[in-house]
Chains A and B, each alone.
Chain A
Amino acid sequence: MNMIPIQHYLLVGAALFSIGLAIAITKRHFIGILLGIELMLNAVNINLVAFSRHDPEKLSGQLFSLFVIVVAAAEVTVALGIILRVYGRFRTVDPDEVSELKK
């Protein structure tokens, strides 16, 4: 069984992380920014899982990425609640236009 070298996993993770960073910067929409953040979390998980392949006794990397998935789920629910409240008050989804705490 030929093993894929770990550098290839790391390169895929790096590419996905960079694309997620570019998405989070360029999108002028709250949910677009959330899409980029989710992509970055997935890219980090690829690295953790790829290194965990060489640790079959304890699987620390896979456990860490399991907790990352849990935190991502909690984050996206709270973020969507906040986005819906902001949209209800300001009637916009552009982060540049939401620049005051009280209206």
Chain B
Amino acid sequence: MEAAAFYGFSVLSIAAAFFILFSRNLIYAAFALFLTFLGVAALYVLAGADFLGVAQIMIYVGGILVLLIFGIMLTHKPDKRDNATAHNKIEIPTKREIWGFLLGTGFFVFLGRIIFLSDFKMAGNSNNSKSTIKTIGVELMTSHLLPFEIAGILLLVALVGAAYLALNRNPAS
């Protein structure tokens, strides 16, 4: 049962990722990224990380993906022809396709070779039956307090910077 769920969600996320790669329409690619994020969240849950799965759904699907779709729509060149399939097209030259294919497959073969050659000795016992929220909370407030505060400051700086960048400054004036 667990294996079936694992392979099903793996195939779902990889197929959606391939759809992003081959799709010519950026809006469709963004919605396929939604499927990929959901598959990855399910993989987190199957690996025993329940809090991270929920955080993945809330942050990626609820925040980042909405922002990306906003970005696609705001940088969209209006096409006067009344053809629904012509919007948000991106042309890809063949040279880039060849380089992307070569680098992608080469990197995958390289990583796969490393994974198959390595011999992992797992030391700890893997008891993933209890919830991880308590452990994450205790660790964040004790031994990982400095990264936690730095992450908060980073988010504040990103918020201020993004708001300043997105101000409507008219270059004509």
Contact = CB atoms under 8 A, between A and B. Distances in A.
Interface of A: 1-4, 6-12, 14-23, 25-32, 34-35, 38-39, 42, 45-46, 49-50, 52-59, 62-63, 65-67, 69-78, 80-85, 87-89, 93
Interface string B143-173: 1100100010011011101111110000100
Interface string B17-50: 1101100001001100100110010011011110
Interface of B: 2-3, 6, 10, 13-14, 17-18, 20-21, 26, 29-30, 33, 36-37, 40, 43-44, 46-49, 51-52, 55-56, 59-60, 63-64, 67-68, 70-72, 74-75, 90-93, 96-97, 99-101, 103-105, 107-108, 111-112, 115-116, 120, 122-128, 132, 135-136, 139-140, 143-144, 147, 151, 154-155, 157-159, 161-166, 171
A69 B20 CA distance: 21
Given A35-B29, A71-B154, A78-B162, 12 more contacts: A9-B47, A22-B101, A26-B92, A31-B72, A54-B122, A54-B123, A54-B126, A56-B135, A73-B64, A78-B161, A83-B75, A84-B165
Contacts of A69: 52, 55-56, 59-60
